[in-house]
Amino acid sequence: MNKPIRILAVFCLVLFALLLFNINYVQVLQAQSLNDHAGNKRVQDAECSRQRGPILVDGRTVAKSVPSHDRLHFVRHYDHPLLYAQATGFFSCYYGTRAVENSENSILSGSDPRLFVNRIVDLVGNNEPQGGSVLLTLDSKAQAAAWHGLQALPGQTRGAVAALDPRTGAILALASTPSYDPNLLATHDFTKAQAAWKRLTAHGADRMLDRATQQIYPPGSTFKLVTAATALSNGYTPNSIVKGGASLPLPQSTAVLHNENGSNCGGNQITLTQALVVSCNVSFGDLGLSLGAKRLQAQAERFGFNQTYLNQLPFSPSVFPTNIDEPQTALSAIGQYDVAASPLQMAMVAAGIANGGAVMKPYIVDEVRSPDLAVLQRAQPEVLHQAVSAQVAGELTQMMVAVVTSGTGTPAQIPGVEVAGKTGTANSSASRSPYAWMVTFAPANDPQVAVAVLIERTGVSRADITGGGLAGPVAKAVMEAVLNR
Amino acid sequence: MSMITAAQGRFVSTFVPRKRRGVELMLLVLALILGVGAYALVGIGTEGKVPTDIVGYGSGLVVLALVAHVAVRVKAPYADPVLLPCVVALNGLGLAMIRRIDIGRLAQDPQSHTYATQQLIWTAISVLGFVLTLVVVRDHRRLQAFTFTMGLAGVVLLLLPLVPLLGVNINGARIWISLGSLSFQPGEVAKICLAIFFAGYLVVKRDALALAGRRFAGIDLPRGRDLGPIVLMWLISLGILVFEDDLGSSLLFFGLFVVLLYVATERASWLVVGVVLFAAGAYFSYLAFAHVQTRVQGWLHPFSNPDLYYQIIQGQYGLAWGGILGRGWGQGSPQLTPFAWSDFIGDSLGEELGLTGLMAIIVIYGLIVERGLRTALICRDPFGKLLAVGLAMAMALQVFVVLGGVTNLIPLTGLTTPFLSYGGSSLLANWAMVALILRVSNHARQPMPDLSPPRADDDTQVIGRR
């Protein structure tokens, strides 16, 4: 009977070999995909209990992990939560991560390949792995100015501010109101986190929406900068004579385009500069018709429309519609119809003009460091597109300076500094108040900051809403904060 | 038979009987270091300090191991020296993991039931059972006298859970009986009874089963009337599968029978018949029974229904979380997996000890099985051979079915992991099984009694040493 026993021994060897191969497969080959599975509580708990690295602004911590004295060991804590919520985002054990907490998760949690050596050292020293730190590009003064500027408006304001360094694309301020407190979501108390989540995501409140990057609005007259850039790049000069007057009948339709408040823009024949200074709808609608939809679209896209260029924050691309007819082209040329832009996008339009026509790719992470403070990565400014020539940029700058010195943009004036800007008051529908916009940069001869301010809704009567009047002072405050630093 | 005898004779002739009890003691010390060390590490991993009851616990385990060792030294001095240390190592690791899961569950809910202390008591009872087996069964050949008693006992034990009032359905399988506050898994004990029965029955019947039959397509097919026992066993296995919803036991008993049939008759055709019958039975029960389909679905596509296959998924997550080196004692979350302390203890160990630790544990099982088969090889009487093969193969099949199930190699079935899982009946039965293997091993390894010189016309089955 020994031969069958020997064969059985081989059979048992096969059985045990199968078991061994299988656990190698599960625990090594399949491990990563199992760990990445949504709802894997082991991984969630481990992520949650890790000592994440801090997020810093101007060298000061705005988000850090502090001991929680419970089973998860650490809880995320946000200083100035409302002020920086859009930039930091949140880190929740139950609802995941958002914004920089999301995009820089691998560094903050310590799982990034660049922290490999640190992990080995932690493993050998039997220490809990630590995350690296992330320094944001935000300027704390500019950020505070933007936030307080929005808060100073009467009533339940909804609005946003985006400020850029035109030379690099670094985001200097990113504010959105209403804001939210990420600490409410970071709590380990599931009941509390759940209640906060329900409240924050409740329909209509949109408290977690980042209006500066994630939401797009009709840019209204601020879009005339793009139309003007198209014109200047196609043979026009600031002194070219364009059509003025009170109204423009649109081709192929019975609709007629009017100016705000029934003005005639100062005559039937005006200069391009004059058209921009008084924000003449008739002139720019007519320009749009003569330039054509294709050229407008190409120019808009060179400023960043219809593109995704930011992955560090929740982002919606701004839109310039494609395949439009003539009346739609005329409306699009003045920032109406289906044209929609985020405040960040409009800040990029201003920044591109300020930077000699080169639109820089925006970014919010300035520096990434390992737990022992070695710099792992420093932001490298990148040109997104050369939107216009340096000459056209210079001409546009002069036209925008005129807007602030003598046109609709006077509220953005700063004594002793030459400010360039453009206002916008976009009517979305008859039933809601118009969106108030202000897009500026300063100083005009050596630009250090470009700002876009949008007021979606505030406690001001409809007749009193103008881009310059509402958004102008906020833009001014942000520019001052940057220039006086 | 003559060829076999020759092989056997050659093997025996090179074997020098040695007691090797010192080796066993040394290996036991290693096994105890493993078990007690694991218990200490559980405390350090969960509470940051060596548990306060380490002395009581450690000395308890040491005393139990020594009692077992002394029993072997006195009652089976020539027995295999590797088996007992392997079993003690597994039992110690199991206790530490059950304790660790208790701590994890208490942290979630202070009202949770704990199992570790109860398991230590069960270990003590099992060691007692081990000693008693060695004392009572002084020669395994005497068990042959109880062939049909054991067969009857085995079948009755298997069917007990189906008796109304007595049988209880726990976690979907009706494999438990309840006596007052005690619940008991009779299948574990039935395993031993049936191994004895199969061995005793086949020793008598093997010639008839082996020699009669027809040749068809290159295979020697058994006679129709000889198919009776295998068909009966097949029906009983199907009955267990259908009425008790216990795939594991069903596969185990049928597999055991087919394997012993093969060893007894040396006819591979029985394996073919067995595999065909098993495949047919499995296929038809898959078609006919929803609970079998559920198991197969959970094996192939566990993520198709995360609520239904929660346990399998959590087990897989645990294994993945353990990775190559494991989280370390007390550093993982095995308590997230339902029944992490019983059926799924393999995944719990894989999570905290990693691939490395789980592979080591599987290799320990491999050692136990290998020592059992080796005992069968060197055993001189056919009943002892079959008994040792049966016990070793029962262990091998059970380990494969349960560990294969919890690691998703095969569909999940409800069986305990020998010596590791929480559970009195399982622990007691497996310790008794090892005692029987040691008993056969002692017989096989001890010096031959001084036989008178063989006569030329003597039966070739009696082999004298030079």
| C-beta atoms of A8 and B373 within 8 A | yes
Q: Which of B358, B319, B346 is nearest to B419 (CA)?
A: B346
Tell whether the torsion through CA atoms of A77, A80, A86 and A87 is positive or negative. negative
CA distance A228 to A288: 9
Burial A390-413 (b: 16+ CB within 10 A, else e): eebbbbbbebbbbbbbebbbbbbb
Q: List Cβ neighbours of B126 (8 Å cut-off, separation of 6 or more).
A: B424, B427, B428, B430, B431, B432
Task: Tell me the residues of chain B between 358 and 377 that have a Cβ less than 8 Å away from chain A.
Answer: 358-359, 362-363, 365-366, 369-370, 373, 376-377
Q: List Cβ neighbours of B149 (8 Å cut-off, separation of 6 or more).
A: none
Task: Place B455 in a pLDDT band, splitting at 50, 70 and 90.
Answer: low
- Please say whether the beta carbons of A71 and B105 come within 8 A: no
Q: What pairs with residue A375 in β-bridges?
A: A369
Q: Which of A65, A179, A221, A433 is catalytic?
A: A221
| C-beta atoms of B332 and A5 within 8 A | no
Residues in chain B: 466
Min CA distance, B179 vs chain A (Å)?
Answer: 36
- The region of weakest confidence among A303-307, A465-469, B61-65, B404-408 is A465-469
| C-beta atoms of A27 and B323 within 8 A | yes
- pLDDT of B1 over the 50 cut: no
Task: Tell me the residues of chain B between 264 and 283 that have a Cβ less than 8 Å away from chain A.
Answer: 264, 266
User: Alpha-carbon dihedral of residues B259, B265, B266, B269, nearest 10 degrees?
Assistant: -70
- Please say whether the beta carbons of B455 and B123 come within 8 A: no
Q: Count other C-beta atoms under 10 Å from residue B139's C-beta.
A: 13
| C-beta atoms of B266 and A1 within 8 A | yes
What value of ipTM does the predicted structure carry?
0.90
Burial A434-455 (b: 16+ CB within 10 A, else e): bbbbbbbbbbbeebbbbbbbbb
The per-residue DSSP string of A1-59 comes to -HHHHHHHHHHHHHHHHHHHHHHHIIIIITHHHHHTSTT-HHHHHHHHHSBPPPEEETT
| C-beta atoms of A5 and B376 within 8 A | yes
Place of tokens 């907490």: A101
Q: Can you tell me the mean pLDDT for B401-425?
A: 91
Distance from the first to the final alpha carbon of chain B: 21
Place of tokens 């395993």: B191
- Answer yes or no: CATH 1.10.3720.10 is held by domain A220-365+382-483: no
Q: Which of A438, A483, A433, A478 is nearest to A458 (CA)?
A: A433
What residue of A is the nearest CA neighbor of B396? A12
Task: Tell me the per-residue pLDDT of B225-240, one tens digit each, with 9 for 90 and over.
Answer: 776 776 787 788 778 7
Task: Tell me the residues of chain B between 8 and 47 that have a Cβ less than 8 Å away from chain A.
Answer: 8, 11
Report the amino acid identity of residue A132: G
Q: List Cβ neighbours of B183 (8 Å cut-off, separation of 6 or more).
A: B168, B170, B176, B177
- Please say whether the beta carbons of A27 and B323 come within 8 A: yes
Which pLDDT score, from 0 to 100, does residue B41 have? Answer: 95
| C-beta atoms of A23 and B359 within 8 A | yes
What's the Cα-to-Cα distance from A145 to each of A417, A420, A450, A479, rounded to whole Å?
18, 19, 14, 9
What's the Cα-to-Cα distance from A81 to each of A62, A86, A89, A186, A236, rounded to whole Å?
8, 9, 9, 11, 48
Q: Which of A196, A202, A201 is nearest to A92 (CA)?
A: A196
H or E stretch at A92: strand A91-92
Tell whether the torsion through CA atoms of B136, B137, B143 and B148 is positive or negative. positive
Min CA distance, B366 vs chain A (Å)?
Answer: 7
Which of B262, B321, B362 is facing A35, going by the closest CB pair? B321
Task: Place B125 in a pLDDT band, splitting at 50, 70 and 90.
Answer: very high
The phi, psi pair for A290, rounded to 5°, reads -75, -30
CA distance A453 to A471: 6
Residues in A closer than 8 angstroms to B404, CB to CB, are 18-19, 22
CA atoms within 13 A on the CB side of B279: 6
Task: Tell me the per-residue pLDDT of B243-285, one tens digit each, with 9 for 90 and over.
Answer: 777 778 888 888 998 999 899 988 888 888 888 988 898 888 8
What's the Cα-to-Cα distance from A415 to each of A427, A484, B84, B394, rounded to whole Å?
31, 12, 93, 93
| C-beta atoms of A22 and B404 within 8 A | yes
Q: Can you tell me the mean pLDDT for B344-351?
A: 95
- pLDDT of B13 over the 60 cut: no
| C-beta atoms of B359 and A20 within 8 A | yes
Q: List Cβ neighbours of A267 (8 Å cut-off, separation of 6 or more).
A: A244, A245
Residues in chain A whose Cβ is within 8 Å of chain B: 1-6, 8-9, 12-13, 15-16, 18-20, 22-24, 26-28, 30-32, 34-35, 37, 39-43, 45, 71
- Please say whether the beta carbons of A332 and A288 come within 8 A: yes
CA atoms within 13 A on the CB side of A451: 39
Q: Does B422 touch chain A (CB under 8 A)?
A: no
Task: Show the CA angle centred on residue A319, arms to residues A313 and A321, nearest 5°.
Answer: 165
| C-beta atoms of B317 and A4 within 8 A | no
**Higher-pLDDT residue of A136, B112:** A136
**What residues of chain A score a pLDDT lower than 50?**
none
Please tell me whether the overall predicted TM-score, pTM, comes out greater than 0.90 for this model: no
Which pLDDT score, from 0 to 100, does residue A371 have? Answer: 87
Which of A31, A32, A42 is facing B336, going by the closest CB pair? A42
Place of tokens 């006086």: A484
What residue of A is the nearest CA neighbor of B378? A2
Min CA distance, B112 vs chain A (Å)?
Answer: 17
| C-beta atoms of B400 and A19 within 8 A | yes
Is residue A458 classed exposed, middle or buried when 0-12, 13-18 and 19+ CB atoms within 10 A define those classes? buried
Which pLDDT score, from 0 to 100, does residue B28 have? Answer: 97
| C-beta atoms of B263 and A5 within 8 A | yes
A92 carries an active-site annotation: no
Domain residue spans in chain A? 220-365+382-483
Residues in A closer than 8 angstroms to B392, CB to CB, are 12
Q: Which two tokens stand for residue A64?
A: 């850090």
Task: Tell me the residues of chain B between 300 and 319 that have a Cβ less than 8 Å away from chain A.
Answer: 303, 306, 316-319
Report the amino acid identity of residue A341: A
Which pLDDT score, from 0 to 100, does residue A259 have? Answer: 84
Residues in B closer than 8 angstroms to A1, CB to CB, are 4, 263-264, 266, 376, 382, 385-386
Q: What pairs with residue A175 in β-bridges?
A: A161
Q: Count other C-beta atoms under 10 Å from residue A308's C-beta.
A: 9
Which pLDDT score, from 0 to 100, does residue B180 have? Answer: 60
Min CA distance, A223 vs chain B (Å)?
Answer: 50
3-class DSSP state of B228: helix
Is residue B224 classed exposed, middle or buried when 0-12, 13-18 and 19+ CB atoms within 10 A define those classes? exposed
Q: Which two tokens stand for residue A170?
A: 């670094």
CA distance A76 to A88: 11
- Please say whether the beta carbons of A101 and A89 come within 8 A: yes
